[in-house]
Chains A and B, each alone.
Chain A
């Protein structure tokens, strides 16, 4: 099915005489055919445009004419300005990404046998409601890594590269020889002449939170000229008792902590504490001040992931959901354009030794330019009117950060502000913004055929 704005082919005149009465009868039928549609359009679409233009020049109550006052208010109102800024971000980012991803998918699916299945999968989100998509992405973006799949992935990746403390909340005793440093680590000086057994008493871990293999803290070896020995332990006896600062009955070692040895301020050794909390650090020969360090990672709070729906990231997050919905549309339309491309230029270029990238860059993309243009402009129009996704995905407290024009219009007219003058002005503004792109799209469409 082709959809064009072409005019009917010429040669419509009928023979005179017989035509006159026919035409009159045809005219009655034509009126009956178009009138219901035109009446509805007139009352519910054309009249509202006129109404909105007029209404936008009156104040919120509708009784005082204020000219362009509402438009001035709109451009001074911080909420509307945020909405306009976000709309600009949407227009700058979303259509280009949707078109680019659609193009990549369309080109790549031609090369695998399961391309059709892939297309169905990616196209399917277009069939579902923004509400369902919004709920789906509220789940994806949930802050809690136990709930939101995206943060679960982010935390898993983060923890692979920067493991969290095995004991969240662990800290040195206050009256303890371990000194907290600015970088979040804790260190203790060791006398190079007689290193002794280094004691690292720590607090802040519930005895029940200890790993099952934690054994009673052992008294460390005395250390020597070639090694520093020590023990990291939980300086707390369930039920009370024991001498603070030294291992003893009831105190357990803290396995799995990282311990570093510094000599002259340089790291010269690293060890991990054993099940009984002991560690053994080989020391290089030579003198100089030495320190045993528990690095910051031993005290790091567990990483909680990214606040996707927080004030700064909420707009990019909603744009992500939008791409998920619309990339399939771009892919299918571009794919149809791709199927209509003449194959001989592609083949000729390949025979001439052009690489696949060159073929794509120099032949496929330029030939697809009209289709890409239609998809892009369609997305621009669509993005300007975006409402539902923002309304549903952005949680109430950050709604103002994610605000867009259509949402602000709704808030002004219905959502409590109840200023229909301002709301009408935003409606007219939205219409004015969309019109040039629509004209462009219809023109382009006409030219193509």
Chain B
């Protein structure tokens, strides 16, 4: 009798999880299948009918999408925005994080608290004033403008993460390096930085995904020639039904990179998510 109860309970757990797995899988599957169906079919039948006619799939949407300059240009813009924005945040945060952890300067802890406090600031606060500021310098509507905004709003979290990361290095190791005559810069460069590599990787992955996936910031700070893929696709949303043969493959292309990054670096991703749970 007890075993029967255990058995049914095991069955219940499995049933709940399988149902949940289906609920989580189906939406993405729908996008993938829709992106592979010819436009004529998309408007006349649901994507799930593919189960009955699996041969009617085609890469046509993708080839015609990539033949157009708009999409390849926007994809390239996404890369041009994400890579520098990630590199800059990691570099600046590593420097500042190390200084906040191990170097001494007046007001260090107060300044650090202020930086952490800036975590609360929603990006929306920056839109109007930063847009004006960038207009004055002449980088509003350009890729450097978008990058700069991402770097600034990525920094509070990044500095916070990096400082904690560097604090995990045992004091004795740093002292030993100093005793051996290594200068502060060499201690940072040859000892602290390599030891902090896993944390740097987590930060880089998170920042990269954040910028790659961004639409809101680029919607305001990117111009027509510097818009990333997300903004380009967003502009097609008004005629959702008739643009599905562009939107579905476009959206799938845009999520391929983050999902690949996710599966390749899931360990760092999970760590970053934990650390990021204050953001």
Q: Which of A's residues lie within 8 Å of B, judged by CB?
A: 1-9, 12, 23, 25-27, 29-34, 36-38, 40-41, 43-49, 51-52, 55, 104-105, 108-109, 111-112, 118, 120-132, 134-140, 142, 145-149, 152, 324, 329, 332-333, 336, 356, 374-375, 378, 381, 385, 387-388, 392, 395-396, 406, 409-410, 413-414, 420, 423-424, 427-428, 430-431, 434-435, 438, 441-442, 445
Contact = CB atoms under 8 A, between A and B. Distances in A.
A332 B164 CA distance: 21
Given A149-B46, A329-B273, A37 B17 contact: no
A137 B46 CA distance: 14
A424 B251 contact: no
Give the residue among A105, A122, A128 with the most B Cβ atoms within 10 A. Answer: A128
Nearest to A11: B171
Contacts of A40: 92, 148, 151-152, 155
B116 interface: yes
B115 interface: yes
A324 B24 contact: yes
Given A33-B98, A36-B92, A149 B156 contact: no
A3 to B, nearest CB: 4
B129 interface: yes
Nearest to A42: B152
A34 B278 contact: no
Interface in B228-279: 230, 233-234, 237-238, 240-241, 244, 247-248, 251-252, 254-255, 258-259, 261-263, 266, 269-271, 273-275, 277-279
B251 A34 contact: no
A147 B259 contact: no
B128 A51 contact: yes
Contact of A34 (B25, B105, B252): B105
Interface of B: 9-10, 13-14, 16-17, 20-21, 23-28, 30-31, 34, 43-48, 92-93, 95-96, 98-105, 108-109, 111, 115-116, 118-122, 124-130, 133, 148-149, 151-153, 155-156, 159-161, 164-165, 167-168, 171, 184-185, 198-199, 202, 209, 212-216, 220, 230, 233-234, 237-238, 240-241, 244, 247-248, 251-252, 254-255, 258-259, 261-263, 266, 269-271, 273-275, 277-279
Contacts of A126: 262, 273
Contacts of A111: 10, 13
A6 B101 CA distance: 10
B24 A122 contact: yes
B258 A128 contact: yes
27 contacts: A1-B165, A2-B168, A26-B103, A26-B105, A30-B105, A37-B155, A40-B92, A52-B129, A105-B17, A118-B17, A123-B262, A127-B255, A129-B258, A131-B215, A131-B233, A136-B28, A139-B27, A139-B244, A324-B24, A336-B270, A374-B277, A413-B127, A424-B128, A427-B125, A431-B121, A434-B120, A445-B278
